[in-house]
Chains A and B, each alone.
Chain A
Amino acid sequence: MAVAEAAPAPAPAPASPGPAEAIAARSRTAALRRFCRQQPLGAVSLVVILAMMVAGLLSEVVAPYDPLAIDFAGILSPPSWQHWAGTDAFGRDVFSRLIHGSRTALVIGFASSFLGSTIGAVLGAASAYFGGRIDDLIQRLVDILLAFPLIVLALVVVAVLGKGLVLGIDVNLICAIAIPIVPRVARVVRAAALSVRVMPYIDAARAAGYSHVRIVFRHMAPNLVAPYLIMLTAHIAQAILLEASLSFLGLGVAEPTPAWGLMLSGNASDFFREAPWLILFPGLAISLAVFAFNLFGDSLRDWLDPRFKL
């Protein structure tokens, strides 16, 4: 007893994950390896997306020049070692504007897709779960919204809402892009939720007297994560393209903010004949980003959806 009391207190546990955490980490690593092995194109697109995210997050460090700095001595310089993607009509470095533009694209792309997909998923799940008049009402609303092409609906919303900057981010633009995404996600998630709703464990949860919110979020939602994630990634590409289109039309972000769509309009449309790099590089950036997100979304769908594994 005395020996036990005299013994030093046990040393604090080393900062290593506990057994459960370690297993989870190993499991995640294994899943990632499996994803890379089974979906090599998806893995490549993931690398492109991660590279864009790093470039966007660390743009101040990565970009060789200030994207807003005007240099009249270097107006419309072709690509060179000093300016990898040339300069624009104000002598601004196009490569630096592309790097900073990736932040605009990703922030607006992620935010709009997340907002639109989440609202769409909630509406879709609620529509399937409640059925009846609520389902009818939501689906007719979805029908109305689906009747408009994505770009037309976004144009209408952005024209009505105008611009609303919060911390330098145009929240109204995010809403304008998110709203057309809502009905598309709602329709897909509703279809998935309809099959989940008839599962015996949902009946059991109802019989146990659980609330609707608990049933939807605790018991149905986990089974809807796969279609939700797939729609989320697929719509990031759509959102990036939509943001570029709206900026090109003068309804997105405003000069001098670096944004890919905006780089394609404005002085690029005046000078693209003598300075083709003004449209070449932003066009490539938009194409690459959209291609990467679409490819990643497809790969994720193939990987997560058991029907594609048959």
Chain B
Amino acid sequence: MTRMATAALAIAAALALAAGGASAQAPKRGGNLTFAISAETPHYDCHGSDTYATLHFSAPFYSTLLQFDLPKYPAVKGDLAESWTVAPDLKTYTFKLHRGVTFHDGSALTSADVKATYDRLRNPPAGVVSTRKATFSDIGTIETPDAQTVVFKMKEVNAAMLEHFASPWNCIYQAKLLGEDPNAPKTKIMGTGPFTFVEHVKGSHVAGKRNDKYFRQGLPYLDGFKGVFTLQAAAMLNAVQGGQVLGEFRGISPAERDRLVQAMGDKVRIEESSWTLNLLVLFNTEKKPFDDVRVRRALNMAIDRWGGSQGLSRTSTMRAVGGVIRPGSPMATPEAELVKLPGFSKDIAKSRDEAKKLLREAGVPNLSFTLHNRNLAMPYTPAGIFLVDQWRQIGVTVDHKQYDTAPYLAGMSSGNFDVAIDFSNLFMDDSSLGLAKYLSFSRAPENRSRSMDAELDSLYDRHMRELDPGKRRGLIQAFEKRLFEQSYQAPLLWWHRIVATHKTVMGWEMSPSHNLGQDLARVWLNQ
């Protein structure tokens, strides 16, 4: 009897706990989320940007065709698309759009808006920059048989096309707005996202309020949000610690994590992941002496990535050594192969001797130049300090200059630099995305080294058509070999993502990319 009573009590307690747990996890409506954005976007246009500063600002105002399903990453799910079909030959993609979707001005979204958006992405008009131009160049035609249907017919097969349709950068714009001014999205926000635009106070914050006509019933949970620009890491940490902001969704360093945990105890939630993001060393191939492959290769070979990885991973967000694909992901080049490539040898003394010899041969044994870098403490400043030291060891003098995000990007985009620290900000691991940044400048405006290399373009195209994983991996390695031998640009180190949020922030999902899951539609506050 006693045993039965105990068992009954235990079952009742378990059920009560389960019920309590479930009710504790039930999303609550209301409240305003204030979070930190460590950089201020130079413009609002998702299509022409590859910095998170634009996405963390703009994503809550926009929708995309598909989205990544973060708990099942890299699986995708519908956003504006209610359903979709893919032809067996991977050459036709048909999307059915949700009905009743409206832009923030009240006008209805139709397939014409999707077509106008993707036309702008794949073939931007004069004066418009689309950093996804190379990715979507495989699209042959876009048809709109009715207001709710969009059909993409491909010129060539791209095995990862469905994931590209889920790219967070493909914000769907209003066809009417693009017709009036193709550059309007740079300065005007008009989307179908869960939040409507309230204000952007330059140097301070961006604010949005709930879109009451959002097409997903019951979403968003929040009344509104405020993204506060905290350009100084110390200010951001103090704000998180003091509760002025409830989190920062890009990532913090191990030291910053430890500080927050020590100060906030169980009030802070820490989530960690490897990161689809790396820093690149970039040489302006249109400027002397960086038009000389010997100079570029020498500077690339002087960098002790393996030593740097061990040291910098203790104090910064930089961690893993890798090629153009995230280390550890299926298509990444294994370490045994990587160490054979210029700049990745573990015998750094030998590499530096070779580098000095190359500089002498190029006639610039005492080279000096300016390193163009971003004024973001983590991890750009440690990367700059590290590179200055590495190049000093082969007799190269470097003047390190750091700029705020807008002039930093403008300087690189206009080619007004010698050597720069750039970034490869990927939202997935697929090589069709990872390799695109290194294509010829004419095909890929995001290639800020301005290099033109037909061999790399050809290897990329061949790998895109190759459906056999083994052969595809071989082509990626051939691509890397050519890239690092030419050293137009090369990864420095891959990052490790650590995100700290107050435990009152619920519904936000961690992923290997800080570009994903930022529309805030399912985020709610447990307070």
Q: Which residues of A contact B (CB under 8 A)?
A: 68-70, 72, 75, 89-91, 163, 165, 168, 250, 254-257, 265-267, 269-271, 273
Q: Which residue of B has the minimal Cβ distance to A257?
A: B400
Sample (21) of A-B pairs whose CB atoms are under 8 Å apart: A68-B388, A70-B311, A70-B389, A72-B314, A75-B314, A90-B315, A90-B382, A90-B385, A90-B386, A163-B401, A250-B402, A254-B400, A255-B400, A256-B389, A256-B400, A266-B377, A269-B234, A270-B234, A270-B255, A270-B256, A273-B262
Quick one: which of B385-437 are within 8 Å of A by CB?
385-386, 388-389, 392, 399-402
User: Chain A residues near B382 (CB, 8 Å)?
Assistant: 89-90, 267
Q: Flag if B307 contacts A255 (CB, 8 Å).
A: no
Q: Kindly list chain A residues whose C-beta atoms are within 8 Å of the C-beta of B308.
A: 72
How many whole Å from B121's CB to the nearest CB in chain A? Answer: 35
Name the CB-closest residue of A to B387. A256
- Complex formed: what's the CA distance from A267 to B255 in Å? 9
> Are B385 and A70 in contact (CB-based, < 8 A)?
yes
Whether B401 and A69, one on each chain, are in contact in the complex, defined by CB atoms closer than 8 angstroms, is no
The A-B contact count (CB < 8 A) is: 65
Interface residues of B (CB under 8 A from A): 232-234, 253, 255-256, 259, 262, 307-308, 310-312, 314-315, 375, 377, 381-382, 384-386, 388-389, 392, 399-402
Partner of A270, one of B253, B392, B399: B253
The distance in angstroms between the C-alpha atoms of A255 and B259, with both chains bound, is: 23
Give Cα A168 to B399, complex, Å: 8
Partner of A267, one of B262, B315, B400, B401: B315
Q: Report the minimum CB–CB distance from B262 to chain A (whole Å).
A: 8
Residues of chain B with a CB closer than 8 A to A69's CB: 389
Complex contact B311–A255 (CB within 8 A) = no
Are A91 and B311 in contact, with the CB atoms below 8 A?
A: yes
Interface contact B255-A271, CB-CB below 8 Å: yes
A sample of 7 more A-B contacts (CB under 8 A), given A90-B311, A266-B377, A270-B253, is A68-B392, A70-B311, A89-B255, A256-B384, A256-B385, A265-B234, A270-B315
Complex Cα distance, B381 from A163, in Å, reads 17
CB distance from B240 to the nearest CB of A (A): 14
Using CB atoms, name the residue of chain A closest to B400: A254
| Chain B proximity of A233: nearest CB distance (Å) | 32
Q: Which residue of B lies closest to A250 (CB)?
A: B375
Q: With A255-B400, A271-B315 as given contacts, are A72 and B375 in contact (CB-CB < 8 Å)?
A: no
Q: A68-B388, A255-B400 are in contact. Are A266 and B311 (CB under 8 A)?
A: no
Query: B311 to A75, Cβ gap below 8 A?
Result: yes
**Which single residue of chain A is at the shortest CB-CB distance from B375?**
A250
Question: A81 to chain B: closest CB distance in Å?
Answer: 23
CB distance from B265 to the nearest CB of A (A): 15
State the Cβ distance, B197 to closest chain A Cβ, in Å: 28
A255 to B386, CA, bound (A): 10
Q: Which residues of B contact A250 (CB under 8 A)?
A: 232, 375, 402
Complex: A250 Cα to B376 Cα, angstroms: 10
Residues of A near B256 (CB, < 8 A) are: 270
CA distance in complex: A270, B316 (Å):
10
- Chain A residues whose C-beta falls within 8 Å of the C-beta of B400 in the assembled complex: 254-257
CB-based nearest A residue for B386? A70
Q: Whole-angstrom distance between the alpha carbons of A273 and B308 in the complex? A: 24
Closest approach, in angstroms, between the C-beta of A244 and any C-beta of chain B? 16
A172–B308 alpha-carbon span in the complex (Å) = 34
Q: Are B389 and A68 in contact (CB under 8 A)?
A: yes
Q: Is B402 a contact of A254 with CB atoms below 8 Å?
A: yes
Distance between A63 CB and nearest chain B CB, rounded to angstroms: 16
The answer for the CA separation of A76 and B400 in the assembled complex, in Å, is: 23
Contact B399 A165 (CB under 8 A): yes
Once the chains bind, are B310 and A255 in contact (CB under 8 Å)?
no
Q: Which residues from A are CB-within-8-Å of B311? A: 70, 72, 75, 90-91
Query: How close is A58's CB to chain B, nearest CB, in angstroms?
Result: 21
User: Contacts of B377 on A, CB cut-off 8 Å?
Assistant: 266
